[in-house]
Amino acid sequence: MTNPRQLAFITLRDVHKGAYADVALDRVLQKVNLPDHDRRLVTELVYGSVRRQRTLDTLIDKFAKKKSHQQPQDLRTILHLGFYQLRYQERIPASAAVNTTVQLAKENGFSGLTGFVNGLLRQYLRKAGGAGEQGGQGDKGTRQIINPQSPIPSSQCPVPDFDPLQLPENPVEHLGILHSFPDWIIQIWLEQLGLTETEQLCEWMNQSPTIDLRINPLCTSIEEVEAALQSVGLLVKRIPDLPQALRFMGNTGSIQKLPGFREGWWTVQDASAQLVSHLLDPQPGEVVIDACAAPGGKTTHIAELMADSGKIWACDRTASRLRKLQENSQRLNLQSIQIYTGDSRHSNQFQNTADRVLLDAPCSGLGTMHRHADARWRQTPESVRELSVLQKELLTHTSTFVKAGGVLVYATCTLHPAENEEVISAFLAESPHWQIEPPRGIELAASAYSTPQGWFKVWPHRQDMDGFFMVRLRKTNNSE
C-alpha cells in the first residue's frame, strides 16, 4: 500500500485507540517504501490532524447533524483528514482534498456515506468564501512541508473573509478552538503571558519542530561539522549562547545516514536542553549524578563538558531506556558514564557523594507539544498534580546526594507553574541549607532567560526553542 492518505488514516486509527502518534507513524512507515515527498505528506496529515483535533471536531459539530463524538470513530478520522487539508494545506487543491476524502470513506467501510462526506466538506468550502479550488484556509502555524509538490505551512495561507468556525468571544475558548488546545492549557498560559503572547505561543506550538544537534568537542569542531553537512547540501545555522549547537534549516532525511553521526561527531539535542547542562557547569574530575538520565542527551553533554574526566552516574528506573543511553555514549566514545538502574527516590548509596546533581524531572512536557502532537490531549490537570508530587519527592531525595557546597540543577520541559516555580518554592521553604545561585560558565543570555526570582524560563515564542524551566541550587557549607 502506497496511498499516503490511506496510510495516514491507518496511523490515526491506531492513535485513537491509544497509541502514541510518533510510535504509530513510525510503525506504519517502516512497512512501506515511499518516496520522500509521500512520507512527508503522511507525516503532515497525521501530526496535523492530531494537533488540530479540537478545531476539526468543532467543524464537524458545526456542519453535521451528529456531533463529532457521536460519529463512528473511523468516519470522524476520515473527516479530520478532509477538513485538515481544506483548512491548513493550501497547495492541495480543494477538489483533490474532497475527492480523496470521499474515496477514503468508500474504501474503509463508509461507501453509503460518501454523499454525506462530500456534502460536509463542500459546505465548509462554501462558508469559507469559495476559496475552493485554490486550496485551504486557516490560521497560522502548521508544520512545513519541504517538497514543492506538497502542502505549505498555513502561516502563508490567507485567512478567509468568513471563518466557518464562528469562534466564541471568551478568550479561553476562542484560542482553544482556533489553535486546538484544551481550555485548561490556554488558561495557564493566559495567566502567565496575557492574550497577545498566549496567541503567539499557540501559533509556535503548532509549527513543525526544528532539529538541533550538539557537536562533540572531544572529537571534532563546530566548523568541521558545518563543513561536512554542507558538503551533502544541508543548511545549518549556529544558535546564540550555545557553543556546541547547530540547527538544521530544512529537511534532513535519515539522521543516521548524515556525515559524522556514526563517527560520534554529534548527537541530536534541542537547544534549550543544551542550556541545562551549561547551567549545571560540571568540571573535569568531579562526581556528577544525573538522577533521571534516560535516554541520555544531557548525560552525554555533561561528559563532554567534563572532558570525559571524572565519574557520572546515570540513574533511571527503566532499563530499556538506559540501553539507549549506553548506545549513545558508546557512539560518542565516552568513558566516564556509569549506569545505575533504579528509582532515584529510593536510592540511598549516593548520599553526600556528588559535586553536582542534575534532576531533569519527569514532567507533562507542555513545553514540547510541537514535537509530541498528542501531548496536549494526553495530559490533564490531574496528571499535572500527580507529576508535581513526584517532582517534589525526587527533589527532596536527590538533594541528599549533593555534598556540602555542591550544586543541584532542577529542570523540566514544561511551562506549568505547578511543576516548576511551585516545586522549587516548596523545596526552599523546607530546606534552609539550600539557595538559588546565579549561573556560571557561559553567559546563558541571562537577560533573555532569567527571572527576578533567579530561575530560568525559556518561552518558545520568544527564544524559538523548546519550552523549559531550570534553576541552579547550591547547598551551603554549613549543611549537615
Q: pLDDT by residue (tens digit) across 220-235?
A: 999 999 999 999 999 9
- Active centre residues (catalytic): 413
pLDDT score of 150? 31
Whether residue 444 is predicted with pLDDT greater than 60 in this model: the reply is no
pLDDT score of 131? 45
Of 115, 36, 124, the residue nearest 80 (C-alpha): 124
Determine contact, residues 59/52, Cβ cutoff 8 Å. Answer: no
Residue count of the chain, please give it. Answer: 480
Whether residue 275 is predicted with pLDDT greater than 80 in this model: the reply is yes
Q: Judging by beta carbons within 10 Å of its beta carbon (0-12, 13-18, 19+), is residue 329 exposed, middle or buried?
A: buried
Count other Cβ atoms within 10 Å, centred on residue 352. 13
pLDDT score of 91? 87
Under the banding of pLDDT at 50, 70 and 90, the label for residue 478 is low
Record the cell numbers describing residue 390, joined without a space: 513526584
The mean pLDDT value for 68-77 works out to 96
Provide the whole-model pTM.
0.89
109-133 confidence digits (pLDDT tens):
999 999 999 999 999 999 887 543 3
348-369 confidence digits (pLDDT tens):
889 999 999 999 999 999 999 9
Under the banding of pLDDT at 50, 70 and 90, the label for residue 156 is very low
Record the cell numbers describing residue 259, joined without a space: 556525515
For residue 238, what is the DSSP state?
Answer: E
Strands (E), 172-316: 212-215, 236-238, 245-248, 266-268, 287-290, 311-316
Under the banding of pLDDT at 50, 70 and 90, the label for residue 138 is very low
Record the cell numbers describing residue 470, joined without a space: 531550570
CA distance 186 to 34: 38
> Mean pLDDT for the chain?
89
pLDDT score of 142? 34
Determine contact, residues 357/406, Cβ cutoff 8 Å. Answer: yes
Lowest mean pLDDT among 21-25, 33-37, 433-437: 33-37
